[in-house]
């Protein structure tokens, strides 16, 4: 029996396996890079200070005391780190090599 000839055509760049996952990882990487650059330029122009916790007083039903909850402000650096950790988790769960 004759052997089949191997095709020497280059692979199609549009046929990426797990394209949706790669696009999601690409978005998270770009967003993380952008946010980290924002925090770098912001911190270099202003002195480094920690954001203060904001106190929120929700309006409760009548007759009950109002409770205060502390909500931390979200900084671009924090979001950048969160996006990177999400990107790593998605890459591990879908077994995508970066």
Q: In the chain, which residues have pLDDT < 50?
A: 48, 53-55
- Provide the phi-psi class of 63: left if phi over 0, else alpha when psi is between -120 and 50, else beta: left
Confidence (pLDDT) at 63: 56
Confidence (pLDDT) at 17: 79
Confidence (pLDDT) at 39: 73
Confidence (pLDDT) at 25: 93
Confidence (pLDDT) at 14: 73
d(CA 18, CA 90): 12
Confidence (pLDDT) at 89: 93
């Amino acid at each position: 029996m004759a052997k089949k000839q191997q095709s020497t055509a280059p692979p199609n760049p549009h046929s990426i396996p797990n394209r949706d996952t790669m696009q999601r990882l690409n978005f998270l990487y770009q967003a993380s890079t952008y946010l980290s650059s924002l925090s770098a330029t912001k911190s270099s122009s202003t002195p480094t200070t920690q954001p203060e916790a904001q106190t929120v007083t929700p309006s409760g039903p009548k007759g009950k005391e109002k409770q205060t909850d502390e909500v931390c402000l979200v900084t671009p650096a924090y979001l950048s780190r969160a996006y990177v950790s999400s990107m790593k988790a998605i890459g591990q769960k879908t077994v995508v090599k970066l």
